[in-house]
């Protein structure tokens, strides 16, 4: 889960040193890992490497990345897997001669055998990483007389595992080699420069013309050329060139202190764009595929799983479908149960989460049709699925998923409504009313932010001093609570758990003591009275009760709540899209109050590409 970038350009293309350009590209990849950072620049007939432990802002100043000039460079920001974060383990890694430099995202599973073999041949290793074997393997093949591209291919034939690689070889100062197997890698086609990176925002400042590489592909970029091969055969890439509608501003903070806050605030536009981008033909195909299936399986990881649970609730309670929702990495439980009469909905904002990808492959092998819901065009999960619906949230850089969650909910709700209409479970009037309501959600989200942001910020001071919190709800409020708890946990490092409110008496309430924060999601559904009882129980134990309450029930709950966050009166089926926003803000402001950087939560990376 690292970020890699390679740039090769014609002389004078950037009007600033390439070290500065690559530093900026790395800043946009930092969400993928931030243990250490490094760059390698081809200068004359040698490679200069600068790298170290720490975040980009600090390391790039300490090692003066901005001053390094050249035309061809690679860079890396690391999330450690093999070898602790240290200066030595930071990428790029070089061979014995220092003329080959490699950056890598993924895991080379057979690196120990290769390392022993290479050490027996006299290679000296300087890091504990799996990556370094690649540099020494290429060196070995060059010594045997291979040409650089052949040496690169020979090295690829020896390595196993998941990888995205970019390699610079000093003797070819205007070329960079790349290879993809499982870990994402995207080529950016610019003017006077070409790029290869783990994600599009890395080079969005320079180009929005991209080719998403596929597993097993490798090749090279030069300033005016892109060459891709698979299994020794050239790949026709012309038809795979895509123009991305994302702008450089979308991938920058635009005055916000953090991407997370910016992305929370972008939700009205992200929701509106997703609704505007609905392709009726695409949705109808998916609706028909679901109608022709026996059962529906929904899978995802983290936030995407929570979106799946909201979808599950709608599909089950509103439509009466036979739905099974699971966390992607637990797919094995279902393999004996599924068959070609089933359909699966795989949710992944990045489209690259390995747990979901592996599950999709296993389900497809058993004949299950797969619908992907993703925010990234041409990413692995959509490519391997039978149908894809894209959310249109724009790039999400903050590690915590925010706008991609609400847009996933939009897609799932529209899907549920279309299915409801087709199945005769809702009338066309009801359908139109609900679609109209969805169209109002951008405004509702905006007004909730305008009205509540200050109060949530004040509340965050209280929460920031606590060690633990509960999030309780009923019905569709349960996955909503799970998402609220995950946000607080991941960015503010406060233990937070979500339960169905009815379950709290079966154990969790034992932890509640004076001042213990409990966040209730109260929706306009038939759970209101039962929730009133649950709030009373918590209040009786001196909990610090916080409620997201529809305006019409505020009076009913007022005396029982320490903090009332007034929400619009809105159909419960659409409510999660609006209700999650104060919870996202609460997590964000609590992280800031505790002095943490919400964009770079410890131990986490935006996209998990190793199992
Ligand atoms: C969300 O805030 C998390 N960072 C994480 O749980 C995330 O949702 C999960 O890794 C799934 O990612 P995906 O949607 O890209 O598959």
pLDDT of residue 246: 83
pLDDT reported for residue 310: 98
| Residue 85 buriedness (CB in 10 A; 0-12 / 13-18 / 19+) | middle
Binned at pLDDT 50, 70 and 90, residue 607 comes out as confident
What is the distance between the alpha carbons of residues 255 and 400, in angstroms, rounded to a whole number? 19
Instruction: Report the candidate in 459, 603, 579, 453 with the shortest Cα–Cα distance to residue 523.
Output: 579
Residue 11 phi, psi (nearest 5): -55, 135
> pLDDT tens digits for 204-250?
999 999 999 999 999 999 999 999 999 999 999 999 999 988 888 78
pLDDT of residue 145: 97
Q: 């702008």: which residue's tokens?
A: 247
How confident is the model at residue 537, as a pLDDT?
96
Of 183, 306, 353, 356, the one to substitute when testing ligand 1's pocket (max ligand atoms within 8 A of C-beta) is 353
Residues near 189 by Cβ (< 8 Å), separated by ≥ 6? 195, 207, 209, 210, 211, 226, 241
Q: What is the mean pLDDT of residues 602-609?
A: 82
Which CATH architecture does the domain made up of 253-426 adopt? 3-Layer(aba) Sandwich (3.40)
Q: What is the reported pLDDT for 45?
A: 85
**By percentage, how much of the chain surpasses pLDDT 70?**
99
Structure tokens, 506:
């079966």
* Same fold for the pair 253-426 and 453-597: yes
Mutual angle of helices 575-593 and 477-492, in 10-degree steps: 20
> Looking at residue 35, what is its pLDDT?
84
**What is the DSSP annotation of 95-164?**
-SSS-EEEEEEEEETTHHHHHHHHHHTT----SS-STHHHHHHHHHHHHTT--HHHHHHHHHHH--EEEE
> Is 2 assigned a catalytic role?
yes
Q: Please state the rounded mean pLDDT for residues 580-606.
A: 94
Compute the C-alpha angle 569/573/574, nearest 5°: 65
Mean pLDDT for the stretch of residues 546-560: 97
Ligand 1, atom 2: nearest CA belongs to which residue? 400
The residue whose CA has the least distance to atom 4 of ligand 1 is 400
**H/E element holding 588?**
helix 575-593
Q: Could you report how far apart the first and last alpha carbons of the chain are, in Å?
A: 11
Which pLDDT does position 519 carry in this prediction? 98
Report pLDDT digits (tens) over 354-387. 999 999 999 999 999 999 999 988 889 999 999 9
The per-residue pLDDT for 467 is: 96
Average pLDDT for residues 427-437, to the nearest whole number?
A: 97
CATH placement of domain 453-597: 3.40.50.10490
Judge whether residue 185 has pLDDT over 80.
yes
- At 28 the pLDDT is 87
**List of E strands, 204-279:** 209-212, 217-222, 225-230, 233-234, 242-243
For residue 338, the CA-to-ligand 1 centroid distance in Å is 25
Instruction: Return the best residue to mutate from 263, 303, 329, 395 for the ligand 1 pocket (most ligand atoms within 8 A of CB).
Output: 303
Q: Which atom of ligand 1 is nearest to the CA of 304?
A: 14
State the average pLDDT for the chain: 95
Mean pLDDT of 52-66: 94
CA 191 centroid distance within chain = 29
Atom nearest to 356 CA in ligand 1: 16
Is residue 280 predicted with pLDDT exceeding 90? yes
pLDDT value, residue 323: 98
Task: Determine whether 96 is an active site residue.
Answer: no
pLDDT in tens, 81-139: 667 788 999 999 999 999 999 999 988 999 999 999 999 999 999 999 999 999 999 99
401, 484, 580: which to mutate for ligand 1, most atoms within 8 A of CB? 401
* Distance from residue 241's CA to the centre of ligand 1 (Å): 27
pLDDT for residue 163 is more than 90: yes
Token pair for 424:
């005769």
Q: Where are the domains of the chain?
A: 3-105+161-251, 253-426, 453-597
pLDDT at 195 over 80: yes
Per-residue pLDDT at 79 exceeds 80:
no
Contact 570, 524 (CB under 8 A): yes
pTM for this prediction: 0.83
pLDDT at residue 116, as a whole number:
97
What mean pLDDT is predicted for residues 295-320? 98
Q: 3-105+161-251 domain in CATH 3.60.20.10?
A: yes
Residue 357 pLDDT: 96
CA distance 490 to 498: 14
């Amino acid at each position: 889960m690292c970020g890699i970038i390679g740039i090769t350009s014609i002389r004078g293309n950037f009007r600033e040193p390439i070290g500065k350009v690559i530093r900026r590209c790395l800043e946009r990849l930092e969400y993928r890992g931030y243990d250490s950072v490094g760059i390698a620049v081809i200068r004359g007939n040698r490679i200069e490497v600068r790298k170290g432990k720490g975040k980009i802002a600090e390391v790039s100043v300490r090692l003066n990345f901005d001053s390094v000039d050249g035309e061809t460079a690679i860079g890396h920001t690391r999330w450690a897997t093999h070898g602790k974060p240290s200066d030595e383990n930071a990428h790029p890694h070089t061979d014995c001669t220092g003329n080959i430099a490699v950056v890598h995202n993924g895991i080379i599973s057979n690196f120990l055998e290769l390392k022993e073999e290479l050490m027996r041949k006299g290679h000296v290793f300087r890091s504990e990483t799996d990556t370094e074997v690649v540099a020494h393997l290429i060196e070995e093949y060059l010594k045997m007389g291979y040409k650089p591209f052949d040496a690169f291919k020979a090295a690829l034939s020896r390595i196993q595992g998941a990888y995205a690689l970019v390699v610079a070889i000093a003797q070819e100062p205007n070329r960079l080699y790349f290879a993809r197997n499982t870990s994402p890698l995207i080529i950016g086609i610019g003017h006077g420069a070409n790029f290869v990176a783990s994600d599009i925002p890395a080079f969005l400042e320079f180009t929005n013309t991209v080719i998403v590489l596929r597993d097993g592909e490798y090749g090279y970029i030069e300033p005016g050329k892109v060459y891709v091969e698979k299994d020794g055969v050239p790949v026709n890439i012309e038809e795979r060139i895509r123009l991305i509608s994302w702008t450089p501003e979308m991938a920058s903070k635009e005055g916000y202190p953090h991407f997370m806050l910016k992305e929370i605030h972008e939700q009205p536009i992200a929701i509106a764009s997703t609704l505007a981008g609905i392709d009726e033909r695409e949705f109808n195909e998916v609706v028909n595929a679901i109608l022709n299936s026996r059962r529906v399986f929904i899978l995802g990881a983290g936030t995407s799983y929570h979106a799946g649970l909201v979808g599950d609730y709608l599909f089950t309670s509103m439509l009466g479908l036979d739905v099974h929702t699971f966390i992607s990495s637990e797919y094995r439980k279902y393999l004996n149960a599924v068959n070609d009469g089933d359909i699966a909905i795989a949710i992944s904002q990045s489209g690259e989460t390995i747990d979901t990808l592996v599950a999709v492959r296993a389900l497809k092998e058993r004949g299950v049709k797969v619908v992907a819901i993703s925010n990234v065009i041409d990413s692995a999960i959509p490519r391997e699925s039978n149908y894809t619906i894209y959310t249109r949230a724009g790039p999400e850089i903050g590690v915590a998923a925010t706008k991609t969650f609400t847009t996933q909910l939009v897609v799932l709700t529209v899907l549920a409504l279309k299915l409801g209409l087709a199945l005769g479970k809702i009338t066309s009037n009801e359908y139109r009313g609900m679609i109209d309501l969805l169209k109002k959600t951008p405004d509702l989200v905006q007004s909730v932010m305008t009205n509540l942001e200050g109060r949530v910020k004040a509340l965050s001071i209280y929460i920031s001093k606590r060690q633990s919190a509960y999030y309780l709800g009923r019905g569709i409020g349960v996955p909503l609570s799970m998402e609220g708890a995950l946000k607080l946990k991941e960015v503010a490092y406060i233990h937070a758990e979500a339960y169905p409110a009815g379950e709290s008496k079966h154990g969790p309430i034992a932890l509640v003591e004076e001042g213990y924060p409990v966040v209730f999601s109260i929706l306009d559904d038939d759970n209101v009275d039962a929730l009133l009882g649950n709030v009373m129980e918590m209040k009786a134990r001196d909990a610090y009760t916080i409620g997201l309450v529809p305006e019409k029930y505020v009076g009913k709950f007022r005396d029982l709540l320490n903090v009332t966050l007034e929400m619009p009166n809105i159909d419960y089926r659409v409510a999660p899209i609006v209700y999650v926003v104060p919870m996202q803000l609460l997590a964000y402001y609590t992280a800031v109050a505790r002095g943490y950087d919400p964009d770079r939560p410890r131990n986490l990376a935006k996209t998990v590409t190793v199992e």
